[in-house]
Structure 1
Amino acid sequence: MSINTKPERWDFLSGVPLDLFKRANGKCSLPRCNNSTAAPAEVDSSAINMGKAAHIYSASEDGPRGRGGKNEAFIRSAENGLWCCAVHGDLIDKKGGKEFAAEKLFNWKKLVEARARKQVDQVPSPRGWVDVIELTLLPFAVSAKLQIKLSRFNLLHGPSNSGKSVLLELAASITNSHNARRMLSQSQGPRAASNLPTWSGKVLYTTVDVLDKVVQLDIDAGHFRRREGSTPCLLPPGDIEVILCSSNDAEQRTDEDDVEFLMRLLNIDHSTVHALLSLAVGKLLPGKYRIAQGYEDNEHGTDVQLRFKINGKPHFELQFSDGNSWLPLSSLSKSSTDKVILDLFIAKAREVAKQRLTLFLVDGISFNFDEPNYQNLLNTIAAEEFQAVLCLPPRQEQFLLEKREGLLRLKDVAHLRSWDLIQLTR
């Protein structure tokens, strides 16, 4: 006598598929998809359905993406579903759902539902999705192209000189052309006289208002240009913010006090520095921040003197407290300073993401973290609403990567399940 061992399915409750259809306004949830999901029937006055309600976490325990530890009520609810066209409803489950992580699908669900809501009440929404960063032209290369296709949270891996940093700098130059300074300095060579771009690239993204937007970036003869199609963009686009936290900018200049350093580093004004310090949670280095005028070093035990800059103005310093005493930023170790910088960048990205599509990029500054601190960084970012790309530090590879089926993959551990691996080759 055979025993039926087929796993139990937790299908959607009655009415959930129709709710998902309505919540998405009948549109496919995949960004930039224009496929119809409903149409009138020709033979009578009914309608035909060309879409489907898709589970994010699976109805079956051994299905695509598994059940993620969720209970039956959640799996069967509209919260765990998204509306897709027939093509993408099948596609997201191919290869066991490995190419479409749950975090990615939940974000797409929020975007399509925010777009439908905007059509009803015209309330702005920061929801969006950065799909592609691409370098289409590189100096001294006859035919070369670097492209990364983004998930929600991404770890970018590749050997030295494979283009990781320049891809992130290109994307960040959408918001601030200062991030393109390395490319600008390399655009003065033999090709400059031809008036042809030395560097060229693009960022493709979608927002609640725009289904398919491409910002083109060209650099030639020391000039940086943004454009949408053939239309020049004199100002950064107002619907996206790309924030780059790079070790290249994390060295304080001798003529800067801490406030000026943070203004330059975070690309914010004076008042925002103070506001951000009051909002920063300090998850990487738990504690509080304040700004106060610094004191001169005193080696002889004489009266303490306040510190001033060369121009005679007060020299303000960032001070950190773990609950015991206040310490100036300059007295912290390199690792602790990097944690403070990352905490402040994460706080900025968190606040900006409340207003517009936000992509947070990290390059270099976390390279000296040990395994527990890097794991904490991944968990901290994965709890945020913005998209993120982190260059994978070489010293973390042994803890995060393994070969499975002949391919390099992220290890199947809890703190990596929200993350996807993007690989570049030289």
Structure 2
Amino acid sequence: MAKKPAAGTSGRHEFLPKTKKLIAERASYRCVVPGCKVPTIGPGAKFDDVSNAGSASHIYSAAENGPRGRAGLTPTQIKSPQNGIWTCRTHGTEIDNNKGERYPAALLLGWKALQEAQLRREQDGRHTPVGWIHELKIIQSWLFKSDEALTLGKATLLQGPPFGKSALCDWISTSLGGKHEDRWISSLGLTILNLKIFAPEEQAIELKFDNQQRTFAANGVPVSEAPKRGSAVFFRQSAWSLYPRSDDDDDDELIGQLLGFERDVVRGLIHDIQRNGTKWGRLIAFYHEEDFEDDDHGEPVPTGGRTWTLRRGGPTGVTFRGLAGSEQERILIEFAAALARERAAFSPTVLLLDGSGWNFDDGNMALLAEYLIGQPFQTILTMRGGWQPNQAAPWWGWSRVVLIGKQYSAQIASHDW
């Protein structure tokens, strides 16, 4: 005999008619998919009739085993307007194909926020920092297959061979005004890519590397520098292992060198980390400590100088340099996330965390995934190909991009892990 399902968990939880109307009106009857221009409402067959070609679609599934699942939501939450988006008929069907694998919940929630921000601006000119990179299209490259497009979610796990992932992070950072890498200006061939950004209006940035220079175009118009359509904060895991550290460097200077920040910016971010960082990261602080050196008898004597020292756990806690390698990486991510969070209050921001194999166990990777998906900025986290989390739940809502082949082509894998 089959077991009876728990109350409130089985069956379909449909929107009420008034909820559908609210979802449609909040979307101004426009399809939520960025760039879709199909009108969903218009004149009907008769002079007093209206034709409605749109629908209120669920983000988390109305059905128990439907697209994107239910993520533990209650029936009331499933039927809430917060769980709804307005789509044209074509996109309403497309986002639910193959159990919604190409359209994770986080992506749809992001599109909903972006659409509402655009409508507020059209209504009253209200500024909003909502936005992100929607698509990266590789028009031509010696490294990648031509005309390959990557659709990025609010949080994206990018996996594959070592240099393909780093190249994409480099190019995204350069397109948003970051320091460009001279290695892409080479005789190996022309590289052209296009970034589609919603900030919140649609913007296009073209970046081109040839064997002499790199050039930009904004919405098809050549410009002399990277257009300020967004911001990138870039942490390379390799920077930590390659940086020539000196005992003479203050901790704020060392962290700044690793992340590409000024040292006073590093110190300024500590207050945000103590309020908004991870539970682990909130225990760090800078201390302006007196310097000592040993005299001829091996006794410490003050030198008159002072050093900025980062400690975790209070004035007598472990110093940054005394932490384990994985803990040092966690602190560097805390600072990178804090700057991304600060910038996201003023413009669309992406945090690029480029690593092959992070020094975290599965539990800490899960905590990192949960932390980043809840942030106001977009995240791209790179990992070696083949890595799989032991826990699927913390990665719910993450898009996953896998680079495969000798000339890399991008495939979007299931977010269901």
After superposition, the Cα gap between the structure-2 partners of 1:321 and 1:201, relative to the gap in structure 1 and judged at 3 Å, is same
Superposed CA offset, 1:375-417 (max 9, x none): 22112112212221111146x82x42xxxxxxxxxx7721122
The structural deviation recorded for 1:101 is 1.3
The structural deviation recorded for 1:207 is 2.5
Does structure 1 conserve the Cα–Cα contact (< 8 Å) formed by 2:57 and 2:87?
Answer: yes
After superposition, the Cα gap between the structure-2 partners of 1:365 and 1:158, relative to the gap in structure 1 and judged at 3 Å, is closer
After superposition, the Cα gap between the structure-2 partners of 1:176 and 1:355, relative to the gap in structure 1 and judged at 3 Å, is same
Superposed CA offset, 1:75-120 (max 9, x none): 1121110111111111111112222111111111111111111212
Match of 1:86 among 89, 92, 95: 89
Cross-structure match for 1:176: 177
Does structure 2 conserve the Cα–Cα contact (< 8 Å) formed by 1:8 and 1:61?
Answer: yes
Matched, 1:239 2:240: no
The structural deviation recorded for 1:362 is 0.8
The structural deviation recorded for 1:186 is 4.7
Superposed CA offset, 1:328-369 (max 9, x none): 433333222111100111111122222211221111286222
The structural deviation recorded for 1:233 is 3.0
Alignment of 1:125-274 (within 5 A): 125-139=128-142, 144=146, 147-161=149-163, 163-178=164-179, 180-181=180-181, 184-189=182-187, 198-208=190-200, 210-211=201-202, 213-250=203-240, 251=243, 254=246, 257-269=250-262, 271-274=264-267
Superposed CA offset, 1:118-159 (max 9, x none): 2122111111232222333334x7974654221222111113
Distance 1:199 1:288 in 2: 42
Letter in 1 for 2:105: A
Distance 2:144 2:85 in 1: 43
The structural deviation recorded for 1:297 is 4.8
- State the TM-score, normalized to the length of structure 2: 0.84
Cross-structure match for 2:411: none
Match of 2:380 among 389, 395, 418: 389
Does structure 1 conserve the Cα–Cα contact (< 8 Å) formed by 2:230 and 2:347?
Answer: yes
Cross-structure match for 2:116: 113
Distance 2:56 2:77 in 1: 15
Farther off after superposition, 347-356 or 272-281: 272-281
Matched, 1:352 2:350: no
After superposition, the Cα gap between the structure-2 partners of 1:294 and 1:364, relative to the gap in structure 1 and judged at 3 Å, is farther
Secondary structure at the counterpart of residue 276 of structure 1: helix
Does structure 2 conserve the Cα–Cα contact (< 8 Å) formed by 1:338 and 1:366?
Answer: no
Secondary structure at the counterpart of residue 249 of structure 1: helix
Cross-structure match for 1:407: none
Letter in 2 for 1:126: P
Distance 2:145 2:318 in 1: 52
Does structure 2 conserve the Cα–Cα contact (< 8 Å) formed by 1:274 and 1:291?
Answer: no
Secondary structure at the counterpart of residue 112 of structure 1: helix
The structural deviation recorded for 1:23 is 0.8
Secondary structure at the counterpart of residue 232 of structure 2: strand
Cross-structure match for 2:291: 295
Cross-structure match for 2:269: 276
Farther off after superposition, 296-305 or 68-77: 296-305
Cross-structure match for 2:75: 72
Matched, 1:420 2:399: yes
After superposition, the Cα gap between the structure-2 partners of 1:21 and 1:297, relative to the gap in structure 1 and judged at 3 Å, is farther
Letter in 2 for 1:423: V
Distance 2:267 2:54 in 1: 49
Distance 2:159 2:192 in 1: 22
Superposed CA offset, 1:242-275 (max 9, x none): 2221124332655854434444444444553332
After superposition, the Cα gap between the structure-2 partners of 1:247 and 1:65, relative to the gap in structure 1 and judged at 3 Å, is closer
Cross-structure match for 1:331: 322
Does structure 2 conserve the Cα–Cα contact (< 8 Å) formed by 1:126 and 1:357?
Answer: yes
Secondary structure at the counterpart of residue 52 of structure 1: strand
After superposition, the Cα gap between the structure-2 partners of 1:325 and 1:215, relative to the gap in structure 1 and judged at 3 Å, is same
User: Could you list the runs of 5+ residues in structure 1 that have no partner in the other structure?
Assistant: 192-196, 308-313, 401-410
The structural deviation recorded for 1:301 is 1.9
Superposed CA offset, 1:155-210 (max 9, x none): 1111344x1110111001123342x31xx235243x7xxxxx733222112222x2
Letter in 2 for 1:238: K
After superposition, the Cα gap between the structure-2 partners of 1:36 and 1:116, relative to the gap in structure 1 and judged at 3 Å, is same
User: Could you list the runs of 5+ residues in structure 2 that have no partner in the other structure?
Assistant: 407-417
Letter in 1 for 2:395: L
Does structure 1 conserve the Cα–Cα contact (< 8 Å) formed by 2:30 and 2:40?
Answer: yes
